[in-house]
């Protein structure tokens, strides 16, 4: 029979120091059911703790769960790109699954309102729109899906095989989320239909602890042209008189957090231009000549003070 590894892990406990027993971790998973007895019964129907594998040290805690039988669920699979992702976020780009059936709420972590899907599926990736998959604008795309968990061997954990450890559902107990993050490793996902897609606003691009780059104008002229392509059609004029209200984000640099996609022109940069920082949903995607802009050293100070 193939095997499925279930892992509960922690980051170093900088915020709190507590040793979790296997029973406490089991209770924490049950608490995700919000007191629903049918949800708790469903958890025990499909999962069993392997109590003799529980370990703890200063850096991490592991408790392992065994999948008793395959489970197929309908729900929402949501792809997310968020460049404001912090050190406690799963990544700049991640995927979450939220089951339709409330009896499976133990899969839903409070941190992201869903279980993080730790496996990619090419057929679904091919269905993502160009703005998300290639341009990599911040935002989300959701699908209605049918997802199956089964006993799947994961080569990464092959060294644990002699301990009879399984993988498929994990819980991250950390100083960031206090146990509110779930991870799943589906065997398969079937798309039933597309639910929605939404491009995110300015707040999803603001995070200075990454390599994000923000610009202001660098010209003696009254305005700078923003173009559809390098030397192409003019999309907008960015005026010096509005310099304290605009935000210009280097999208090429942002994409490097996800992909190594190269710039198509060393004299032009693809940017997201927000004409009014107070209206974060209104933006234009285009190109500006690099000679016409300069980098902002402190984007937070600019946003809060309203001046450079």
Q: Where are the domains of the chain?
A: 5-200, 204-305
The predicted model scores a pTM of 0.81
- Reply yes or no on whether the pLDDT at 182 is more than 70: yes
CA distance 206 to 85: 9
- Reply yes or no on whether the pLDDT at 157 is more than 50: no
Q: Report whether 9 contacts 57 (CB < 8 A).
A: no
Q: What is the mean pLDDT of residues 221-240?
A: 95
- Reply yes or no on whether the pLDDT at 267 is more than 50: yes
Q: Position of tokens 């120091």?
A: 17
**Band of residue 168 on the pLDDT scale cut at 50, 70, 90:** low
Which CATH superfamily is 204-305 part of?
SH3 Domains (2.30.30.40)
pLDDT at residue 4, rounded to an integer: 34
CA distance 276 to 176: 33
192-228: pLDDT as tens digits: 999 999 999 999 998 766 678 999 999 999 999 999 9
pLDDT at residue 32, rounded to an integer: 76
CA distance 173 to 181: 8
Question: Where is mean pLDDT largest: 122-126, 252-256, 265-269?
Answer: 122-126
pLDDT at residue 82, rounded to an integer: 92
**Band of residue 231 on the pLDDT scale cut at 50, 70, 90:** very high
**Band of residue 6 on the pLDDT scale cut at 50, 70, 90:** very low
pLDDT at residue 59, rounded to an integer: 47
CA distance 20 to 29: 13
pLDDT at residue 81, rounded to an integer: 94
Helices 37-46, 22-31: inter-axial angle, 10-degree rounding: 130
- Reply yes or no on whether the pLDDT at 158 is more than 70: no
The mean of the pLDDT values for the chain is 78
Pairwise pLDDT comparison (165 vs 260), residue with the higher score:
260
Total residues found in the chain within this entry: 308
59-115: pLDDT as tens digits: 455 555 677 888 999 999 999 999 987 666 778 899 999 999 999 988 886 667 888
9-19: pLDDT as tens digits: 322 222 223 34
pLDDT at residue 166, rounded to an integer: 45
CA distance 40 to 226: 56
């Amino acid at each position: 029979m193939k095997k499925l590894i279930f892992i509960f892990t922690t980051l170093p406990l900088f915020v709190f120091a507590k040793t979790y027993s296997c029973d406490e971790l089991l209770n924490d998973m049950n608490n995700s059911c919000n007191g629903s007895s049918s949800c708790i019964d469903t958890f025990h129907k499909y999962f069993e703790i392997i109590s003799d594998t529980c370990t703890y040290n200063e850096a991490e805690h592991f408790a392992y769960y065994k999948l008793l039988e395959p489970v197929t669920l309908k729900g929402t699979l949501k792809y997310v790109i968020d460049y404001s992702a912090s050190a406690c976020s799963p990544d700049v780009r991640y995927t979450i699954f939220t089951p339709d059936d409330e009896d499976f709420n133990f899969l839903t972590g409070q941190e992201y309102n869903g279980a993080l899907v730790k496996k990619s599926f090419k057929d679904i990736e091919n269905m993502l729109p160009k703005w998300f998959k290639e341009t990599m604008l911040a935002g989300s795309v959701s699908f209605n899906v049918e997802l199956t968990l089964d006993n799947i061997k994961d080569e990464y954990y092959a060294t644990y095989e002699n301990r009879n450890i399984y993988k498929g559902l994990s819980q991250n107990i950390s100083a960031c989320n206090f146990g509110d993050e779930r991870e799943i490793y589906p065997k398969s996902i079937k798309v039933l239909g597309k639910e929605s897609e939404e491009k995110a606003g300015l707040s999803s691009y603001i995070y200075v602890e990454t390599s994000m780059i923000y610009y202001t104008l660098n010209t003696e002229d009254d305005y700078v042209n923003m173009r559809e392509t390098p030397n192409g059609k003019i999309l907008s004029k960015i005026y010096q008189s509005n310099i304290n209200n605009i935000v210009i984000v280097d999208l090429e640099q942002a994409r490097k957090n996800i992909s190594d996609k190269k710039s198509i022109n060393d004299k032009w940069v693809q940017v997201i231009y927000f004409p009014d920082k107070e209206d974060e949903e209104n933006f234009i995607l285009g190109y500006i000549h690099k000679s016409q802009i300069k980098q902002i050293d402190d984007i937070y100070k600019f946003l809060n003070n309203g001046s450079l």
